[in-house]
């Protein structure tokens, strides 16, 4: 237990210190991107990993919040109002998504979320009087909470890190809670859960809302990071990318989506500088993950580490007992 | 007052009449055995009683309350618990977690997203007590996937008992068990206090005969014979159904 606390403290300190080590604003910005996509992936993972419901429309949920903020800022409202309204819009649309998609599960659920995501994308693209169509909406300034400017790469990184840590902590508490256990139960045995007295639909609905809240928060970080939003951010590829982050890192694990987000963002931004066909690179990495660690990078690494640990431990006692083979044999015989 | 009453219950899947005008009255504290050959509609009858499927016609009453249109989860809150013929447990979790989920289903805690489930002392104490009743307390922390078939059956029963039901429905609790395991489960079922009404499905007639007060014989979705143990065993129609003559 104590080892875990120390590890968490070290990780948090490393994240705080990261911009000073990186220095280059371009790479600090990439670190910010990783964190904001991690928030998005954490939200998606609540549904995909813990509820067993795969959504292909989550970029739409982020997009609604992002457009809400951009629209209200362009209309002259302050940051606080814009952020609150963006979150509210994201949650209202999430409730609509959930009400429609939760009529089904499995493939049908995926198809409904896909269709709903495409509707949001279509609205962003075609409802020009609100969204400015393909030209998108620019955001002129980032907020300055408590007088701290977020204009610099480091300032924005710090703000994103705080939001990310809060989101991660919320997820950590959520998955260990009674409600989290109930949600995982509906993933594994929905019929049994119903017979045990659980309201399966309602459990999934609130999980969807939590997932949508994190998506909306990620969307708001996204629009402030880019200071621009266009329909491209809501496209199916954006939803699919989120899904790849969750699955490659490890669905249903706390850190999997974070690792997945880092992987995708790094390949997209860093590797693409050296290899023009970076999409090919990303695809090859995913194929490798699916072949060697189908459960995802985080649980896969844990599995390999445990295996190595066990193998190392087995070798050690074997070497020790080899000298005292006569003493060891009767002990083994007593066992059955 | 009757514990469980089924009135003129019917259900068809397409042209197949799985349950045809079934009537059943079970008194409080009674041990009722429902027997019948494969495809007699025993499990379908259970699914109708627990609300997992909706009947085409008829009614289900729990302590004189009409629950025909009530969702499964609400029936659980009214004191109805069941086990499954095909084991329906949570394989990724420990035995203790399985039992805890059964308790959580009836607890208002189940909506709580910020407490830590593992730290809910009362809940885990109750879960351990439920495992104690079926003799599994010593392996509470074991992942369910690493348990034997007989142990899984006992987990099923522990989960149903943990909910302290008024009416307990057991769907073939002896299915797939070895002779020793059957003896254990039989002892376990005999210990269930008489304030719990037990309705049990069994495919094989001899297995559970001595546990039953009354027996209902189901064949092609219809009640063929009903009565005390001796009456049903002596009835020529029972022999006809089971021996085909």
ipTM of predicted assembly, 2 dp: 0.92
Alpha carbon distance, N-terminus to C-terminus of chain A: 35
The C-alpha of A46 sits at a distance from chain B's nearest C-alpha, in angstroms, of 13
What residue has token string 């998506």? A215
Is pLDDT at B114 greater than 90 in this prediction? yes
pLDDT of res. B230:
86
Beta bridge partners of B222: B219
The C-alpha of B51 sits at a distance from chain A's nearest C-alpha, in angstroms, of 9
Q: Which residues of B touch A188 (CB under 8 A)?
A: 90-92
Contact predicate A213/A87, CB 8 Å? yes
The C-alpha of A14 sits at a distance from chain B's nearest C-alpha, in angstroms, of 27
Q: Who contacts B220 (Cβ-Cβ below 8 Å, separation ≥6)?
A: B17, B20, B39, B40, B41
pLDDT of res. A1:
62
Interval B114-128 mean pLDDT:
94
When computed from its CA atoms, the radius of gyration of chain A, rounded to whole angstroms, is 23
Residues above pLDDT 70, as percent of chain A: 93
Name the residue facing B102 among A184, A196, A206 (closest C-beta).
A196
The C-alpha of B166 sits at a distance from chain A's nearest C-alpha, in angstroms, of 14
For residue A279, being part of any structural domain is answered with no
Average pLDDT over all residues of chain A: 90
- The CA distance from A206 to A327, in Å, is 60
Which of A73, A331, A97 has the alpha carbon at shortest distance from A220?
A73
pLDDT of res. A332:
38
For residue A260, being part of any structural domain is answered with no
Helices A106-126, A236-249: crossing angle, 10 deg rounding: 140
Which of B201, B183, B161, B157 has the alpha carbon at shortest distance from B31?
B201
> Tens of pLDDT along A42-64?
999 999 999 999 999 999 999 99
Q: Who contacts A276 (Cβ-Cβ below 8 Å, separation ≥6)?
A: none
For residue A144, being part of any structural domain is answered with yes
Name the residue facing A178 among B82, B90, B117 (closest C-beta).
B117
pLDDT of res. B3:
95
Domains and CATH numbers, chain B: 1-79+165-245 (3.40.50.300), 92-164 (no CATH)
Is pLDDT at A264 greater than 90 in this prediction? yes
pLDDT of res. A323:
47
Interval B29-35 mean pLDDT:
93
For residue A148, being part of any structural domain is answered with yes
What residue has token string 């002259």? A76
For residue A140, being part of any structural domain is answered with yes
pLDDT of res. B207:
76
Answer whether B110 sits within 8 Å of A179, measured CB to CB.
yes
Residue A311: Cβ within 10 Å count: 10
Which of A233, A216, A212 has the alpha carbon at shortest distance from A83?
A216
Q: Which pLDDT band, with edges at 50, 70 and 90, does B244 fall under?
A: low
pLDDT of res. A331:
38
Choose the mutation target among A52, A195, A204, A208 for the interface with B, i.e. most B CBs under 10 Å.
A195
Interval B105-134 mean pLDDT:
94
When computed from its CA atoms, the radius of gyration of chain B, rounded to whole angstroms, is 18
Q: Which pLDDT band, with edges at 50, 70 and 90, does B95 fall under?
A: very high
Which of B68, B72, B35 has the alpha carbon at shortest distance from B201?
B35
> Tens of pLDDT along A316-332?
665 555 544 444 443 33
pLDDT of res. A317:
64
From B159, which residue of chain A is nearest by alpha-carbon distance?
Answer: A196
From B92, which residue of chain A is nearest by alpha-carbon distance?
Answer: A188
Q: Which residues of B touch A194 (CB under 8 A)?
A: 52, 71-73
A161 vs B205 pLDDT, higher one = A161
For residue A10, being part of any structural domain is answered with no
Q: Which pLDDT band, with edges at 50, 70 and 90, does A2 fall under?
A: confident
> Tens of pLDDT along A99-124?
999 999 889 999 999 999 999 999 99
Helix (H) / strand (E) element for B227: namely strand B222-228
The C-alpha of A205 sits at a distance from chain B's nearest C-alpha, in angstroms, of 12
pLDDT of res. A318:
56
For residue A63, being part of any structural domain is answered with yes
Name the residue facing B112 among A179, A193, A197 (closest C-beta).
A179
**A313 in reach of chain B (CB within 8 A):** no
Answer whether A177 sits within 8 Å of B115, measured CB to CB.
yes
- The CA distance from A42 to A184, in Å, is 15
Q: Which pLDDT band, with edges at 50, 70 and 90, does A334 fall under?
A: very low
Answer whether B90 sits within 8 Å of A189, measured CB to CB.
yes
Task: Give the total number of structural domains in chain A.
Answer: 1
Answer whether A199 sits within 8 Å of B73, measured CB to CB.
yes
For residue A6, being part of any structural domain is answered with no
DSSP code of residue A102? T
Q: Which pLDDT band, with edges at 50, 70 and 90, does A23 fall under?
A: confident
pLDDT of res. A85:
97
- The CA distance from A63 to A67, in Å, is 6
C-alpha separations of B103 from A199, B7, B159 in Å: 14, 31, 8
Is pLDDT at B153 greater than 70 in this prediction? yes
**A189 in reach of chain B (CB within 8 A):** yes
pTM here is 0.91
Q: Which residues of A touch B72 (CB under 8 A)?
A: 194-195
**Any idea what the Cα angle at residue A47 is, between residues A84 and A3, rounded to 5°?**
90
**What is the domain extent for residue A174?**
23-235
Which of A236, A231, A232, A267 has the alpha carbon at shortest distance from A249?
A267
Least confident of A308-317, B115-124, B166-175, B189-198: A308-317
Q: Who contacts B64 (Cβ-Cβ below 8 Å, separation ≥6)?
A: B1, B2, B5
Contact predicate A102/A204, CB 8 Å? yes
> Residues 50 to 89 of B: which have CB under 8 A from any A CB?
50, 52, 71-73, 76-77, 81-82, 84, 88-89
């Amino acid at each position: 237990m104590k080892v875990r606390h120390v590890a968490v403290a070290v990780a948090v300190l490393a994240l705080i210190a990261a911009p000073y080590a990186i220095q280059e604003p371009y790479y600090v910005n990439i670190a910010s991107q990783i964190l904001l996509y991690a928030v998005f992936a954490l939200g998606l993972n609540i549904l995909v990993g813990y509820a067993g419901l795969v959504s292909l429309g989550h970029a739409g949920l982020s997009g609604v919040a992002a457009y809400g903020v951009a629209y209200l800022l362009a209309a002259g409202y302050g940051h606080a109002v814009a952020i609150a309204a963006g979150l509210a819009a994201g949650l209202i649309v999430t409730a609509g998504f959930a009400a429609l998609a939760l009529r089904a599960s499995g493939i049908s659920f995926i198809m409904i979320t896909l269709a709903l995501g495409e509707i949001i994308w279509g609205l962003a693209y075609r409802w020009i009087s609100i969204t400015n169509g393909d030209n998108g909406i620019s955001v002129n300034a980032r907020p300055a909470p408590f007088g701290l400017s977020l204009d610099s790469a480091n300032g924005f990184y710090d703000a994103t890190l705080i939001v990310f840590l809060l989101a991660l902590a919320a997820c950590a508490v959520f998955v260990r809670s009674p409600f989290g256990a109930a949600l995982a139960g509906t993933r594994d045995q929905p019929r049994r859960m119903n017979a045990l007295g659980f309201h399966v639909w309602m459990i999934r609905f609130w999980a969807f809302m939590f997932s949508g809240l994190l998506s909306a928060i990620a969307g708001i970080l996204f629009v402030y990071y880019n200071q621009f939003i266009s329909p491209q951010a809501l496209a199916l590829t954006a939803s699919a990318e989120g899904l790849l982050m969750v699955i490659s890192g490890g669905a249903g694990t706390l850190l999997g989506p974070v690792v997945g987000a880092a992987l995708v963002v790094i390949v997209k931004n860093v590797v693409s500088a050296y290899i023009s066909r970076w999409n090919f690179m990303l695809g090859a990495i995913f194929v490798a993950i699916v072949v060697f660690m189908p459960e995802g990078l985080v649980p896969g690494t844990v599995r390999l580490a445990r295996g190595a640990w066990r193998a190392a431990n087995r070798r050690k006692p074997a070497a020790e007992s080899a000298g005292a083979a006569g003493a060891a044999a009767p002990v083994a015989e007593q066992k059955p | 007052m009757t514990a469980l009453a089924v009135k003129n219950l019917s259900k068809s899947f397409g042209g197949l009449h799985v349950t045809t005008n079934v009537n059943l009255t079970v008194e409080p504290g009674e041990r009722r055995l429902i027997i019948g050959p494969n495809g007699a509609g025993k499990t379908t009858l259970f699914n109708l009683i627990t609300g997992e499927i909706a009947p085409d016609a008829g009614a289900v009453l729990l302590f004189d309350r009409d629950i025909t249109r009530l969702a499964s989860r609400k029936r659980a809150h009214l004191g109805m618990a069941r086990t499954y013929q095909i084991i329906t447990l949570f394989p990724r979790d420990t035995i203790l977690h399985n039992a805890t989920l059964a308790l959580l289903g009836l607890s208002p805690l189940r909506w709580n997203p910020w407490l830590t489930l593992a730290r809910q002392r009362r809940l885990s104490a109750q879960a351990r007590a439920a495992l104690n009743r079926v003799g599994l307390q010593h392996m509470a922390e074991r992942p369910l996937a690493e348990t034997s078939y007989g142990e899984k059956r006992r987990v099923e029963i522990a989960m149903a008992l943990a909910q302290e039901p008024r009416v307990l429905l057991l769907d073939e609790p002896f299915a797939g068990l070895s002779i020793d395991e059957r003896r254990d489960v039989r002892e376990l079922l005999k210990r269930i206090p008489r304030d719990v009404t037990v309705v049990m499905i069994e495919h094989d007639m001899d297995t559970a005969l001595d546990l039953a007060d009354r027996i209902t014989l189901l064949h092609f979705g219809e009640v063929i014979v009903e009565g005390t143990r001796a009456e049903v065993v002596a009835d020529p129609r029972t022999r006809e159904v089971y021996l085909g003559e």
